[in-house]
Structures are given as C-alpha cells and as structure tokens.
C-alpha cells in the first residue's frame, strides 16, 4: 500500500528512516529547472533573488508558487511588499543568476541589468523569456522555506529564443525555434 504523508500543517513522524539532506540535494540536482530572478518593491524595499523552485499551480486563476528560504536576506522585503515579479531568465542572463544567487549587495544585483516597473511596482527584467507580475495571495511555511502562492495580475512574453536551464549544478542553454513555441 502506498505510504500516506500528512499535510505540512499536520506533520507526523513516519515509520520510514529520514532521507539525508545531502542525498536529497544530490537527487534534486538531477531535476532540471528554469532559472528565474524573482523581484519585489514597495514599503519593504527593493529586493530580488535567483529561484529555481517556481512552478505553475493552476491557470484558473493563473497562479504560480515560489519557494523562498526564510533565512535569506530578501525574505523580509517579500513579506513586507506582498507583490513580486517572476522573471524567467534568457541564456544571456546567466551572470545575473549568479549575482542574484546570494551574497551580493542589492544595488549591485539590480545595476547589472535593465528594468522596467510592473503594475504592482515590482521590477521587470528587460529581455526576460517571460515575466509574471503577481500579488501574493497565500503563504505556507514548510521547513526552512516560505511557499508563496502568487496570483498573476499581468505578464510580459519575451521574444528571445534562448532559455536557461539549471541541471546537474550547471547552467545549460536551450533553444526554441519560435520564441512562443
């Protein structure tokens, strides 16, 4: 019979042994993902971070989820603003991913690219594969992370053909014949 796990709100120690953190990370390193720079601005200040833990939840209403480490320096800004923009990176943005991936002062991160402003006030990356302007409608805390459920209130579809994927702890460029294909 399949093992049933309780929801994150009702954790319960199972009869099975814990998976070591390193084994989990090693396995996850084999799961390819798009690379995004998630940005915010507002009363909590301007901030942005690199995120691969982003996915589509439902299209009715259009909703994304973003997993944000609660221990990161940007956590308070996102909680304070309640809005964000998911900017999916193009191949040319690989250096930007490293900059927004931690330990770089916020002004330096933003100075490395061109931005416009979304309806919510969040920064939109010029030349992104796609940008999703969102308001955070729900937040769940799971372990070290906050899972932000984000309703998409506006979007920009780019025209670049080269995307960026993180797989095997390395960046890979992917090509689409048509930008919207």
Ligand X SMILES: Cc1cc2c(cc1C)N(C[C@H](O)[C@H](O)[C@H](O)COP(=O)(O)O)c1[nH]c(=O)[nH]c(=O)c1N2
Q: Terminus-to-terminus CA distance in the chain, angstroms?
A: 41
Q: Cβ contacts of residue 144 below 8 Å, gap of 6+? A: 69, 70, 71
Please tell me the distance from the alpha carbon of residue 17 to that of residue 42, in angstroms, as a whole number.
44
Please tell me the distance from the alpha carbon of residue 112 to that of residue 19, in angstroms, as a whole number.
39
Out of 36, 40, 52, 120, name the contact with ligand NAD by CB under 6 A.
52
Out of 32, 102, 105, 143, name the contact with ligand X by CB under 6 A.
102
Please tell me the distance from the alpha carbon of residue 46 to that of residue 27, in angstroms, as a whole number.
33
Least CB distance to ligand NAD at residue 65 (A): 12
Burial 73-105 (b: 16+ CB within 10 A, else e): ebbebbbebbbbbbbbbbbebeebbebbeeeee
Please tell me the distance from the alpha carbon of residue 127 to that of residue 170, in angstroms, as a whole number.
22
Please tell me the distance from the alpha carbon of residue 79 to that of residue 87, in angstroms, as a whole number.
18
Q: Which does 136 bind (CB under 5 to 8 A by kind): ligand NAD, ligand X, none?
A: none
Out of 49, 78, 110, 132, name the contact with ligand X by CB under 6 A.
49
Out of 34, 64, 68, 128, name the contact with ligand X by CB under 6 A.
68
Q: Segment contacting ligand NAD (CB under 6 A): 24-32, 80-88, 115-123, 152-160?
A: 24-32
Q: Which does 30 bind (CB under 5 to 8 A by kind): ligand NAD, ligand X, none?
A: none
The answer to whether residue 67 forms part of the interface with ligand NAD (CB under 6 A) is: yes
The answer to whether residue 69 forms part of the interface with ligand NAD (CB under 6 A) is: yes
What residues line the site for ligand NAD (CB under 6 A)?
25, 28-29, 52-53, 67, 69, 101, 144, 169
- Report the interface residues with ligand X, using CB under 6 A: 35, 49-53, 67-69, 72-74, 97, 100-103, 166
């Amino acid at each position: 019979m399949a093992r049933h796990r309780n929801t994150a709100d009702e954790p319960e120690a199972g009869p099975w042994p814990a998976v070591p953190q390193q084994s989990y990370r090693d396995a996850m390193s084999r799961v390819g993902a798009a690379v995004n720079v998630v940005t915010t601005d507002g009363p909590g200040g301007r901030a942005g971070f690199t995120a691969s833990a982003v996915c589509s939840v439902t299209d009715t209403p259009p909703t994304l989820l973003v997993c944000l480490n609660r221990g990161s320096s940007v956590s308070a800004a996102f909680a304070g603003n309640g809005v964000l923009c998911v900017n999916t990176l193009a191949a040319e943005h690989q250096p930007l991913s490293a900059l927004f991936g931690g330990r770089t002062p916020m002004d330096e991160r933003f100075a490395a690219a061109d931005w416009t402003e979304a309806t919510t006030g969040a920064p939109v990356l010029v030349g992104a594969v796609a940008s999703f302007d969102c308001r955070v409608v729900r937040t769940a805390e799971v372990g070290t992370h906050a899972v932000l459920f984000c309703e998409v209130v506006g979007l920009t579809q780019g025209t670049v053909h080269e995307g960026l994927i993180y797989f095997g702890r390395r960046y890979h460029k992917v090509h689409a014949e048509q930008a919207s294909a």
